[in-house]
Structure 1
Amino acid sequence: MHLSKLAAVIVATISFSGLTACGGGSNSSGPAPTPTPTPTGPSWQPGVFASASSLEAKCESPRTGIDPFTGQQYPDEAGSSLEEKLWLRSWTNETYLWYDEVDDNNPANYSVLGYFDQLKTTATTPSGTPKDNFHFYQPTDEYNELTQSGVSSGYGFDWEFVRNTSPRELVVRFAEPGSPADLAGIPRGASVKRVNGIDFVNTNSSTDIDALNDALFPADNGTTTSFVFELVNGDELAVDVTSADVQVSPVQHVQVLDTPAGRTGYFQFNTFIRTAQYDLIDAFDGFIDENVTELVIDLRYNGGGLLSLASQLSYMVAGPAQTNNAYFETLQFNDKSPNRDPVTGNVIQPTPFYSNEIDYNAGRLLSAVLPSLSLTRVFVLTTGSSCSASESVINALRGIDVEVVQIGSTTCGKPYGYYPTDNCGTTYFSIQFQGINYKGFGDYADGFIPTETPNYGYEVPGCAVDDDFSHPLGDPAEGMLSTALAYAETGSCPQPVNPAPVSPDAVNAQSSESSLAIENPLTLKERLILQNKINEPIVTEQE
């Protein structure tokens, strides 16, 4: 679905069938009417698929000029909405991991984006959740803006949606450094009480709900909103915040702690976008200089991103000896493509543990070697918002016998990924592969689960702990981090251990049906990276 809307508006599009005008009677003295020509363009035939390449870039509203992100002419040609839908259909049939579980519905009954929304499996995981919860699209210019520059628009809040219906609860996880929210001094754990004078917690007026959605997620920069928050100590904070461009800071709170277990590095890592590479390098250079022997990576809000960057991070943890002759992950595509990548056409080869810096603009390895700690144990802090490439790091390190200790709650469960694909100005994300680690494991569709007594591949040694909003992230007293530090010292979970929190979805499922819910479109950064594993092939020859 589109990032800024809860659901796409479906507009019916009529496809033309071949019609021939009837001729006049035999007594007509005039010339016979000229038959209407049969359309020669593509049409939908159930079970018959043209090649996606024959339909791509045939657009109802073609772009013109130069793409500012590639420097190349836009490839678009004049076409129709039907051709856009037929391209989606063929592209899905060729590359979607579960193509044989997709209903071949008539595209005439959908808008382009509405048609894409239903081009996915309806099957469920063993726990009963949808197998494909990761099907979405994004305007291409917005996607390129964020992934290449790390800039999004908004207040800079990272929100925790505890409850969407009354009594609602919306809590600040953190504010992006330098963002309007950060400059306004709004701390972690602040809970929204009023927005532009509206009772956020209790209102059930549809007019109020619309106003809340507009205020919380402004479409434009320069929107000023009045918030009243309740802080963790019970005080109220009233503040006006104006939306603006926000620079995403993927790596935050880098520090080294002196602990009984030794020098322990910690950093919060929020997203695997290309701008994070040098922040990670700086962090690990510092850890090496500080003689770090234990490491805590805070992935609790990291929804994923680039697999190549996840591979680089894993190498920086494990080092050359443990990654030698092993691979980070190999990709499995649909059964039409057992040996060849259906997107690139290349022979399938495992993703290595990248030990070098990468020029992400050119997709090439550089000569500079990454720093590495060569650790045999690493702690990861997780929640249900830890997804995809974050889970790949956990899986890949376990695949080479690095001990991973998981502190927090069950991850989102996404061993799947895709190549973001642009057509006619929209970038589509449709599951195309599953990742498998060096030991051949990749079955964690219901997430990695921290437990003191692991019995299955998706159960990871560690401790189930609540997300603690009463302390700043990086504070050694914060619940997850303090548990990790205690485990590093003793080798076991401290007692008592808090139970893992109830998910917001489970809370909302118990709400009254008559209670109106605010939307949860999330910020551009969250939605774009949420549950996202992106493959960008890297040329292995160094520049």
Structure 2
Amino acid sequence: MNKLYFFLLMSLLSFFISCGDEIQKEEKKPTVQTKKDEVNDFIWSALNSWYYWQKDVPNLADNRFSDTEYLKFINSTKDHEGFFYNLLYRYGEKDRFSWVVDDVEKLMASFSGKQAATGLEYSLTSIENGNRILGLVNYIIPNSPADKAGLKRGDVFFKINGELLTQRNYRKLTEDNFTITVAQNFKIKNKVFTYDGEKKFHIKGEELQENPIHYSKIFKINGKKIAYLVFNAFQANYNDELNEKFGEFKAEGVTDLILDLRYNGGGSVNTALALGQMITGQFANRKYITLNYNDKHKASNSTGYLNKEIGLFEFEDGEMKSKGKELANSLHLNRVYVLTSHATASASELTITSLKPYIDVVQIGQKTYGKFVGSITLVDAPDKNINKAYTDFENRNKNHSYGMQPIVFAYFNSRNEVFVEGVEPDIKINFVDYLGNIKEFGNPSDPALAKALEQITGNKFRKASEKKLKLETWPVGDSKTLKKFGTEMYITDLSEFK
């Protein structure tokens, strides 16, 4: 009896122990993840649809993942920016221009000229075998912190926060709070930078609204009326003001135009189309620009034509909206003089190359930046219509604020030409050669403006004594090319392309 009792007791004990083991095994099973990371899901899906180089990125292929693998892939990281950049095609080499942001509303506002900034626009060049960097003030945004501090075009600075400007620290200039030191009475002696004094300027950024129509003037020389326009960004909400400015030129009977795009990093393709019409006028309904998308969006391949009417836009409720059209004030010119620098990019390059098949374009200055691709703003708004997918800003997913500005198209002029390495000038001017002699806008002795006026009138506008500096330099970049969206090209209104 005791043996039987003992046997039953041991059997029950073994049963409970084995059950406990099974329970423990079940508890140790990993939880199956079924919830998608919304941001990464949006990033992958939108790039899979729109990205210009989609077929060149293995991880963006339609059949790259099973459902389980895809879920694991998009949930593999919370680093949304890193996830985005890892999906780009040879990022930093082939694709230098795609961006992701965690605040799409700020991104949209920046396209209207509204952004947090110091108002200091500059170029950087390395000297002394690359050991040091000099900064040249290209222009100052009116009423900005830099303007109030007293900085002016042509100033040369060589320190940031009390330290010599070098490759190690120059990116501090992209921050919104810093101090720069300007050289006074500087000179180049034995190919070395020297100066007699210095002055510090402390600048703290604030929200600014920049008007891209920075400066204009009409010169009356030898019976010619020469319009000079400094145009610093292609912002569609200023199309009406730009057309008004060309109306003034037209009323004055302007015979020649000098278009200063040295500090214009680009912007709206729609504004570029409008500017082309304002400069010409005699080529209405002629092909101006062709846009080519990836294979999934071939139906979006389209052409922009010169048109007697230009589109007008306003920034409202967080996005750019159409407010109708108006007749372009066209100058009907057969030649235009364009001032360029290494920072002349995207929509500026479009203007130069798209005008060339129709009129003479005399380019003065430096080789341009070399950006012949563009983007649209993508938000988390899937749609069954592939050509509307991820573009509906108003009805986007509000659970997060991410947005993307990836490259989605390449563009060509009416001859199907493209200049991916940049556009070479007809007359070369290295602006660093004239440090200390860079004049305020409109001063006819400013090196580039003087050369353009000389080409038009035959007169000399610079003193023979103002010789080039004997200084070996290497370009580093400028305030437009060193920041996000500084060389952006995007479409404001697709309806203007057919």
Tell me the TM-score normalised to structure 1 length.
0.69
**How far apart in 2 are the matches of 1:446 and 1:25?**
77
**How far apart in 2 are the matches of 1:310 and 1:160?**
24
Per-residue deviation at 1:540?
A: 5.6
Tell me what 2:4 maps to: none
Find out whether 1:192 has 2:149 as its counterpart: no
Tell me what 1:306 maps to: 268
Query: For residue 413 of structure 1, what is the amino acid of its counterpart?
Result: G
Is the contact between residue 228 and residue 237 of structure 1 (CA under 8 Å) also seen in structure 2? yes
Is the contact between residue 292 and residue 302 of structure 2 (CA under 8 Å) also seen in structure 1? no
SS at match of 1:385: coil
Unpaired runs of at least 5, structure 2: 1-13, 61-72, 187-194, 381-399
Call closer, same or farther: CA 1:95–1:112 in 2, change over 3 Å: same
Among residues 362, 369, 374, which one is paired with 1:412 in the alignment? Answer: 369
Q: Which moved more, 1:300-309 or 1:235-244?
A: 235-244
SS at match of 1:449: coil
CA shift digits 1:1-53 (9 cap, x unpaired): xxxxxxxxxxxxxxxxxxxxxxx9997245953575863637xxxxxxxxxxx
Per-residue deviation at 1:538?
A: 4.6
Tell me what 1:375 maps to: 333
Q: Which moved more, 1:164-173 or 1:403-412?
A: 164-173
Among residues 55, 64, 86, which one is paired with 1:100 in the alignment? Answer: 55
Is the contact between residue 117 and residue 205 of structure 2 (CA under 8 Å) also seen in structure 1? yes
Per-residue deviation at 1:497?
A: 11
Tell me what 1:159 maps to: 122
Call closer, same or farther: CA 1:30–1:185 in 2, change over 3 Å: closer
Tell me what 2:396 maps to: none
CA shift digits 1:308-359 (9 cap, x unpaired): 011111110011x22x221321211123333x12xxxxxx331232523413
SS at match of 1:237: strand
Call closer, same or farther: CA 1:180–1:217 in 2, change over 3 Å: same
| 1:416-435 matched pairs, under 5 angstroms | 416-423=373-380, 424-435=400-411
Per-residue deviation at 1:152?
A: 2.2
Find out whether 1:359 has 2:324 as its counterpart: no
Tell me what 2:142 maps to: 177
SS at match of 1:485: helix
Call closer, same or farther: CA 1:118–1:40 in 2, change over 3 Å: closer
Call closer, same or farther: CA 1:367–1:433 in 2, change over 3 Å: closer
Per-residue deviation at 1:530?
A: 2.1
Q: Which has the larger radius of gyration?
A: 2
| 1:144-543 matched pairs, under 5 angstroms | 144-148=108-112, 150-163=113-126, 166-196=131-161, 198-201=162-165, 209=169, 216-219=173-176, 225-231=178-184, 236-260=198-222, 262-319=224-281, 321-322=282-283, 324-338=284-298, 340-341=299-300, 348-354=301-307, 355-361=309-315, 363-364=321-322, 366-399=324-357, 401-423=358-380, 424-441=400-417, 443-450=418-425, 462-467=426-431, 468-469=434-435, 470=437, 471-489=439-457, 503-505=474-476, 522=479, 527-539=483-495
Tell me the TM-score normalised to structure 2 length.
0.75
Call closer, same or farther: CA 1:290–1:387 in 2, change over 3 Å: same
Is the contact between residue 176 and residue 247 of structure 1 (CA under 8 Å) also seen in structure 2? no
Q: Which moved more, 1:306-315 or 1:178-187?
A: 178-187
Unpaired runs of at least 5, structure 1: 1-23, 43-78, 124-128, 342-347, 451-461, 506-519
Call closer, same or farther: CA 1:412–1:293 in 2, change over 3 Å: same
Query: For residue 486 of structure 1, what is the amino acid of its counterpart?
Result: E
Call closer, same or farther: CA 1:116–1:39 in 2, change over 3 Å: same
**How far apart in 2 are the matches of 1:364 and 1:300?**
29
SS at match of 1:356: strand
Among residues 34, 42, 60, which one is paired with 1:41 in the alignment? Answer: 34
Call closer, same or farther: CA 1:502–1:448 in 2, change over 3 Å: farther
**How far apart in 1 are the matches of 2:325 and 2:207?**
34
Identity, in percent, stands at: 23
SS at match of 2:296: coil
Per-residue deviation at 1:286?
A: 1.5
**How far apart in 2 are the matches of 1:534 and 1:200?**
37
Tell me what 1:113 maps to: 81
Per-residue deviation at 1:299?
A: 0.5
Is the contact between residue 262 and residue 343 of structure 2 (CA under 8 Å) also seen in structure 1? yes
Tell me what 1:130 maps to: 93
Query: For residue 96 of structure 2, what is the amino acid of its counterpart?
Result: N
Per-residue deviation at 1:213?
A: 5.9
Per-residue deviation at 1:135?
A: 2.0
SS at match of 2:483: helix
Is the contact between residue 158 and residue 172 of structure 1 (CA under 8 Å) also seen in structure 2? yes
Query: For residue 530 of structure 1, what is the amino acid of its counterpart?
Result: G
**How far apart in 1 are the matches of 2:179 and 2:97?**
33
CA shift digits 1:169-203 (9 cap, x unpaired): 2221111111121122212222224444x23247x
CA shift digits 1:38-78 (9 cap, x unpaired): 63637xxxxxxxxxxxxxxxxxxxxxxxxxxxxxxxxxxxx
Query: Would you say how many aligned residue pairs link Structure 1 and Structure 2?
Result: 424
SS at match of 1:168: strand
